[in-house]
Amino acid sequence: QKEVEQNSGPLSVPEGAIASLNCTYSDRGSQSFFWYRQYSGKSPELIMSIYSNGDKEDGRFTAQLNKASQYVSLLIRDSQPSDSATYLCAVNEAGRRALTFGSGTRLQVQP
Amino acid sequence: ETGVTQTPRHLVMGMTNKKSLKCEQHLGHNAMYWYKQSAKKPLELMFVYSLEERVENNSVPSRFSPECPNSSHLFLHLHTLQPEDSALYLCASSQEAVNEKLFFGSGTQLSVL
């Protein structure tokens, strides 16, 4: 069964540190990769998308993709308490008309 | 605001009730989705509509019945639900149903007694 795997956490980092969130996927045909942030009691919101190998930076966020290793990660620099949330990795799968999501990693940024 | 509006925000229903969830998107998108989110589990895709046509049905029990009258509106009709159906039901939209970025509504927190 095709899957998207994430460590559930919680991942705890001090304020100002780099938070590193990881995701692996099983479908080698996947082409599109997304990171969503979900605050408690809220709906997911898109924060990053990445389609090709390498790094993509947007402000304090960097998405990294390695298709050979079937691995995608999200780095959050200068972590803030407001970054505390669950981060969902989402992947397209060949033949599917919608994204497949991981269970999410809960991030806690300690002031 | 994401441009996707869901109502109601909260719903409590008995197992014999019939209710409907409503979703409206103001983004001009062509695809709409229903996802189910249960505690500690990944988001589960339920249905995908593209230009009002259902293009994916993810083995959802028949007690969940979707309806998409036009590309801006999506409904999920509920009847004879079970307690294990209690979850957060999320509507989403995207420009096309080709694995593009999704925009989610606020969700309906459903409790089945």
Beta pairing partners, A88: A36
Report, as an integer, the average pLDDT of B66-89: 95
**B18 with B78: CB under 8 angstroms?**
yes
**What are the pLDDT digits (tens) for A18-42?**
999 999 999 998 889 999 999 998 9
**CA B83/CA B14 separation, integer angstroms:** 9
Q: Which of A43, A102, A103 lies at the smallest CB-CB distance from B90? A: A43
**A84 with A107: CB under 8 angstroms?**
yes
Q: Which of A8, A42, A97 lies at the smallest CB-CB distance from B55? A: A97
What is the pLDDT, as a whole number, of residue A103? 93
Confidence of residue A1 (pLDDT cuts 50, 70, 90): low
What is the pLDDT, as a whole number, of residue A95? 75
| Percentage, residues of chain B above pLDDT 70 | 96
What is the pLDDT, as a whole number, of residue A22? 97
Confidence of residue B58 (pLDDT cuts 50, 70, 90): confident
Higher pLDDT, B59 or A74: A74
Mutate to test the interface with A, among B43, B50, B108 (most CBs of A within 10 A): B43
A40 close contact with B: CB closer than 8 A:
no
The first and second tokens of residue A94, run together, are 């060949």
Residue A9 clears pLDDT 90, i.e. is over it: no
**What are the pLDDT digits (tens) for A55-86?**
999 999 999 999 999 999 999 999 999 999 99
What is the pLDDT, as a whole number, of residue B98? 64
**CA B64/CA B48 separation, integer angstroms:** 13
B30 close contact with A: CB closer than 8 A:
no
**What are the pLDDT digits (tens) for B6-33?**
999 999 998 888 999 999 999 999 999 9
**B102 with B35: CB under 8 angstroms?**
no
Contact A97 B56 (CB under 8 A): yes
**CA A71/CA B71 separation, integer angstroms:** 35
Q: Which chain A residues touch B102 with a CB distance below 8 Å?
A: 34, 44, 46, 90, 98-99
B102 close contact with A: CB closer than 8 A:
yes
